[in-house]
Structure 1
Amino acid sequence: MPQMMDFEDLEASFTPCMHLNECQGCPRMSDAYSQQIMAKKSYIQDALKDYIAHITVFPAEKLQFHRNKVDWWYDGEKHLGFRKKGDIRHTFKNEGCLLASKASQDVYKHIESFLAQQQLTPYNIYTHEGYLRYVIYRESKSLPQRVVGIITATADHADVIQSLATQLMENNLVSGVCWLVNTRYADTSEGDIQQQWGDCTLKENMSELVFEYPFTTFFQTNPQMAEHAQKFVLSRVTPGKTILDLFCGVGTFSIPLAKQADYLFGVELSKEAIQAAKKNAQQLPTRNTTFIANDVAKQLQQLEVEKRKFEIVVADPPRAGLSKKIFRRMLRLFPKQLIYISCNPESLQRDLKWLAEYCDFEVKHAAIFDFFPHTDHVETIVDITLNEIKWNKVNSERRRPSEDTASVELK
């Protein structure tokens, strides 16, 4: 990985994007990368100042073409592209974007040209009328796989979507096309699968393992940096332990951890992600994993009812972070170590304060990984030793064991 002295070479190889002044996706691109990474380090040091002084920094390996996913929005003037800075009603053309690969540009140009010949109405996020919402592009960084997702508000115009999918496939621009329908008002680039063409599953080679994931599930947008995060987590875990992985996804951390664990239990709400995690676990030399699709808080209570114990907990929650309920139920499983993977410094800081209400702990190590150069976002991993549990506090808010115990096991 690049070290501090390599920043000059890294910066010298980078030319700012032509859309810098109109794009909201890379607000820090005009800053030298050395300034970007030091600002992120300072931010996390301030957030963790009550717990640890030293922060290890893992800077980005690449400053361009590092993302495996981009979202293009279809605006009211029937233009496909990125939303303009300070004007979410309009887009600008995606040509020359430095985030995703150059292959994404060929896909973008073809779709933009196709849509210009159609009469599809853009979806209006204020009136909730219209048809086409988003076009999503995802690719593997280690294999020649590219998948496009078309997000519409209804299941109409099937012939048009079929025609676009056929063209993309016949021109070898993508390996799969996924049509999703999103009838919800929320302005999100997701939906329920209506139809698929080709292979809409992607694979990524990381840490000498293959991670397979469906188009509709979450996967880290910067696989190179995610691999470094995997290796860091592995370095903080003693082999032969029992591990509980909360919000395990498709097994990004679970699978490499299971290679050196005595036993690993993963829980994740998404059924699709759990199915992928189970498939990814098949490449392990031993069958020492269990993956359950369930709400994390409910599954923790189920594990308590079963009198299960885990030596290590790994938690990789969404931006909202954890909750007091999760902390209480987690501690009733008697863990000695918590590895917290956070994409939101504010929720991380809050969660550590909550954890202090229930347990004495020590932050042994903290590191930041720059998954998102040119932005304010950063991934933080904190290795926490859990000491004396404050049982009077943990048990004072206990609910009846019969509540929230249902789990869903996918076969």
Structure 2
Amino acid sequence: MKKNDKIVGTCSGYTKEGLGVVKIDGFPLFVKGILQNETAEMVVTLVKKTYGYAKVLSIKEPSKQRCELKCPVAKQCGGCQLQHMTYTEQLHFKKQKVQDVIDRIAKLDMKVEDVLGMENPWYYRNKCQIPVGVDQNKVVTGFYRIHSNTIIDTNACAIQSETINEVLSHMKELLQTYGNASVFRHLLIKHAFTTGEVMLVWIVREYPFSSMKEMAEDIVQRLPYIKSVIVNVNTRTDNVILGEKEYTLYGDSYITDAIHNLKFHISSKSFYQVNPVQTNVLYGKALELAQLSGKETVIDLYCGVGTISMFLAQKAKKVIGIEIVPQAIQDAKENAKMNNIDNIEFICSDAASYANKLSEENMRPDVIVVDPPRKGLDQITLNSIIKMQPERIVYVSCDPATMARDLGIIKESNYEIKLVQPVDMFSQTNGVECVTLIERI
């Protein structure tokens, strides 16, 4: 087999990214846009020693799980990988993705729960970071073509909230009118679903810049629900989006949202789950699995702005939240005060150092909740958690593979993995969140 060969084959399954797997005489080809059990004519685009890639030329036998693309640039944009699947098939894919790593990496003999899906899997994101460019004197805004720095120009996105799309459309028009788009790197827009408030962050190369105040007045007059306009200055040459210096042009430096009966201040740099509908589901499940009676001391590692911590505090005796980002800890403290919650202590520290400190002090919490970044738990944090011997560990994860790796380590230390519950936080994409219950034997 070589590049540009035309072949016909049938998809037998999916990679973790959602690519179809087509085997030709046992040789696997990874193919974008094909569904399980579909037969297609393809052209080989790349051949490696043990695998290759191919592109669909035509579908010979379409699956009943195939659907029309909702977004006109879905094939070019790298943001949504699963729009060609029905939502039922997306949930099937995500469950299998989690089951695969539980079997292969964690080496656990257990069945993953069905994915908790959405009633409406569109227009759900409350945050977007949109690159801005200029092409032949025309302002372009959109997401990058996959594996490139080329912006796919678009005025709307089918997974961003419709309010965010409206803000983007007006900003694009204003950037063209004022002629200052070349100063902009990104637009960051945050939308609080419960209150309707919007934060607009201009990520720029210099400050001040031409027509800055006039444009802020213009956008707020057009869209009164914008409660905060912030200029973030980023002069870096790498792909880090936010710079260090910020200036508030209009309103406050935060917007306010709510989950259940809890209010949260959200700043430009603070972490907040991007799917508010499913955040209720995810955090509700985490609280359920923590099995709190009001007598427990709980440690919440990677607590962010304190969202999970405050859920837990309503049912626990005491919660200690740990987070390395100073702005997030400041937000967390303000959030606890705003909600009249006084049984939380927030600590600004990296998880590994503070977990190690607590373990050396012979801290014995009843429950530890972790919500680590994509890379999962490092060895120091894992060792410290195991040394503290909590009755239960609730592991929230955005990467099933690193979670499975950590579960494989934890299970060797007198702990049993009781339940793995996937939650669809990122519909139309190949991402999946999980919440897992681990109990001491």
Alignment match, 2:186: 134
Q: CA deviation at 1:97?
A: 2.0
User: Given the alignment of the two structures, is residue 41 of structure 1 paired with residue 41 of structure 2, yes or no?
Assistant: no
Where do 1:33-112 residues align within 5 Å? 33-49=87-103, 50-51=107-108, 52-77=110-135, 79-86=139-146, 88-112=148-172
Using the TM superposition, give the Cα deviation of residue 111 of structure 1 relative to its aligned residue in structure 2, in angstroms.
1.5
Aligned length: 367
SS of corresponding position for 1:233: helix
Question: Aligned pair 1:32/2:86, yes or no?
Answer: yes
TM-score (norm 1): 0.83
Distance (whole Å) between structure 1 residues aligned to residue 147 and residue 379 of structure 2: 38
Amino acid at match of 1:88: S
Alpha-carbon separation, structure 2, partners of 1:205 and 1:18: 33
Give the secondary structure class of the aligned counterpart of 2:150.
Answer: strand
C-alpha displacement at 1:384, in angstroms? Answer: 0.5
- Measure how far apart 1:162 and its partner are: 2.4
Corresponding position of 1:402: none
CA gap 1:48/1:303 in 2 versus in 1, 3 angstroms: same
The 5 A counterparts of 1:152-171 are 152-157=204-209, 159-171=210-222
Q: CA deviation at 1:273?
A: 1.1
Question: For 2:206, what is the secondary structure of its paired residue?
Answer: coil
Post-superposition CA distance 1:343-392 (Å, at most 9, x none)? 011211222233345x13211111111011111000011101134xxxxx
SS of aligned partner of 1:257 = helix
Provide the C-alpha distance between the structure 2 equivalents of 1:53 and 1:109, rounded to a whole number of angstroms. 45
Structure 1 alignment gaps of length 5 or more: 1-10, 123-130, 388-411
Per-residue deviation, 1:253: 0.8
Q: Contact 1:234–1:257 (CA<8 Å) still a contact in 2?
A: yes
8 Å Cα contact 1:76-1:89 kept in structure 2? no
In structure 2, the partner of 1:385 is: 439
Structure 1 residues 14 and 312, CA, compared in 2 at 3 Å: closer, same or farther?
Answer: farther
**Structure 2 residue aligned with 1:400:** none
| 1:75 Cα offset (Å) | 2.6
3-state DSSP of counterpart to 1:231:
helix
Partner residue in 2 for 1:405: none
Give the Cα separation in 2 of the matches to 1:17 and 1:191.
Answer: 31
Paired residues for 1:307-322 under 5 Å: 307-322=362-377
Aligned equivalent of 1:271, options 322, 326, 334: 326
Q: Which amino acid aligns with 1:170?
A: Q
Query: Using a 3 Å threshold, how does the CA distance of structure 1 residues 270 and 84 change in structure 2: closer, same or farther?
Result: closer
Aligned letter for 1:28?
L
- Indicate the structure with greater strand content: 2
Partner of 1:350: 405
Unaligned runs of 5+ in 2: 1-64
Report the residue type matching 1:369 in the other structure: V
Q: CA deviation at 1:284?
A: 5.3
Letter in 1 for 2:186: Y
Higher relative contact order (CA 8 A, sep 6+): 1
Report the counterpart of residue 6 of structure 1 in structure 2.
none
Deviations 1:67-116 (A, max 9, x none): 00112112352533223434633323332421222222332222112222
Compared CA separation, residues 60 and 186, structure 1 to 2 (3 A): farther
CA–CA separation in structure 2 for the residues paired with 1:121 and 1:57: 42
Cα deviations across residues 203-224 of structure 1 (Å, max 9, x unaligned)?
2221221122212211100011
Q: Is 1:332 aligned to residue 387 of structure 2?
A: yes
* Structure with bigger gyration radius: 2
Query: What RMSD over aligned residues (CA atoms) do the two structures have, in Å?
Result: 2.3
Secondary structure of residue in 1 paired with 2:211: helix
Q: Deviations over 1:321-358 (max 9, x none)?
A: 1111111122222212111100011211222233345x
Corresponding letter in the other structure for 2:276: P
SS of the equivalent of 1:92 reads strand
Q: Equivalences for 1:248-259 in 2 at 5 Å? A: 248-259=303-314
Secondary structure of 1:365's partner? Answer: strand
Q: Matches of 1:286 and 1:108 in 2, distance apart?
A: 36
Tell me if structure 2 keeps the 8 A contact 1:61–1:224.
no
**Conserved? CA contact 1:14–1:63, under 8 Å:** no
Amino-acid identity (%): 25
Which amino acid is the alignment partner of residue 347 of structure 1? T
